[in-house]
Amino acid sequence: MQLSLIVPTYNEKENILPLVERVHHSLSSIDYELIIVDDGSPDGTAEEVKRLSSTYPLRLIERKERGLASAVVRGFEEAQGEALGVIDADLQHPPEMIPQLLAEIDKGADVAIASRYVAGGGVEDWAASRKIISKGATLIAHLSLPSLRKVKDPLSGFFLFRKKIVEGINLEPRGYKILLEVLARSKVQGVAEVPYTFTKRERGKSKISLKEEIDYLRQVVALALSEDLWRKAIKFGLVGISGIGVNEGLLFLLTDTVGLSEYISPIPSIEASIITNFMLNDLWTFSDRREGSWLRRLAKFNLTMAAGAGITYGVYSLIISLTSIPYLIAMLLGIVVGFVWNFTLSFIWTWRKRPIRKDA
């Protein structure tokens, strides 16, 4: 399997020669090409690459714009190999690890990550503040992107993957975290993480700044909105709000206009809102998961909603009896817990996702 290794560079002139030599030495028995994507470095990085291109299997791509992730995606587009890889130019990612990563791909992994956060991995020489930022950023990724929780270091800048997983997928390169983009948008199956130590930079400077941190947060929001779980939760919430309207409207109509007792009218009102919520969720939120009988799903929905209403009431009464929180606030808290219950059960049971059959 041919490997195309992408190296983004900005002002890495002094690192190019040792990088190219170490990569070449590590990959002596592997068919590979090195694609260096330089964004007009004023220090003469591109000239240094050209000087070496007669001796080593490397290609230079020169761009006018700036940006690590977009440079890497440009490299992906130019790559010939079946396996693609990304490594920084500054030697903080040891090239000697590439064969190990490639071996994971050969064994069947879609993505092989050089990972700081699995046993045996780590960082050398980072200030406490950078460690905290890195851990915090990883936690944010894990909380907002549930499908990536298994991956310990989704923000690593050193990884290999099969090219076919990104074919036909629209990556939105922004900021630094290209691996996150690949993992979230390509919905990969097998991910292998190999421990490594992110070493000290010997030459040149890091280009990371506040802009990259902000870009990261924007990237996470964009990816979270493309996650099935959050999309469905938002739709489910909007349907829930429409249901509050149905419930309150009917309650008013039955009590005030028809003249029913206010102890009786909530019953048809609540049931009506459950039915309209069900129909909207079935047609919209979970339109991709309509399996089997409509009546059966309606029954499941009624069941979980009834339990959710009980939970709302339970939380509400617990809060007002144990604390001095105002009852209207307590009801809101109850509704939130009931909502989480209702959504979770809908997501995992009423509109259960059928497992993908292996033979399909």
Q: Are 131 and 138 in contact (CB under 8 A)?
A: no
Interface residue with ligand GDD, options 48, 90, 104, 193 (CB under 6 A): 90
Phi-psi region of 292 (alpha: psi -120 to 50; beta: other; left: phi over 0): left
Total chain residues near Mn ion (CB under 5 A): 3
Binding letters toward Mn ion, positions 206-225, x by CB under 5 A: x-------------------
Binding to ligand GDD by residue 240, rule CB under 6 A?
no
Interface residue with ligand GDD, options 4, 6, 10, 81 (CB under 6 A): 10
Give 71 or 141: the residue with its C-beta nearer to ligand GDD. Answer: 71
The separation between CA 197 and the C-alpha centre of its own chain, rounded to angstroms, equals: 24
Give the integer Cα–Cα distance in Å for 51 and 13: 11
Total chain residues near ligand GDD (CB under 6 A): 25
- Contacts with 28 (C-beta within 8 Å, 6 or more apart), sequence order: none
Binding to Mn ion by residue 156, rule CB under 5 A?
no
Binding to Mn ion by residue 350, rule CB under 5 A?
no
Out of Mn ion, ligand GDD, none, what residue 286 binds, judged by CB under 5 to 8 A for its kind, is none
Binding letters toward ligand GDD, positions 18-37, x by CB under 6 A: -------------------x
Give me the amino acid identity at 284: W
Give the integer Cα–Cα distance in Å for 181 and 173: 7
Binding to Mn ion by residue 12, rule CB under 5 A?
no
Binding to ligand GDD by residue 155, rule CB under 6 A?
yes
Ranges within 167-196 binding ligand GDD (CB under 6 A): 176-177
Out of ligand GDD, Mn ion, none, what residue 157 binds, judged by CB under 5 to 8 A for its kind, is ligand GDD
Out of Mn ion, ligand GDD, none, what residue 198 binds, judged by CB under 5 to 8 A for its kind, is ligand GDD
Binding region for ligand GDD (CB under 6 A): 8-10, 12, 37-39, 66-68, 71, 88-90, 92, 155-158, 176-177, 198, 206-208
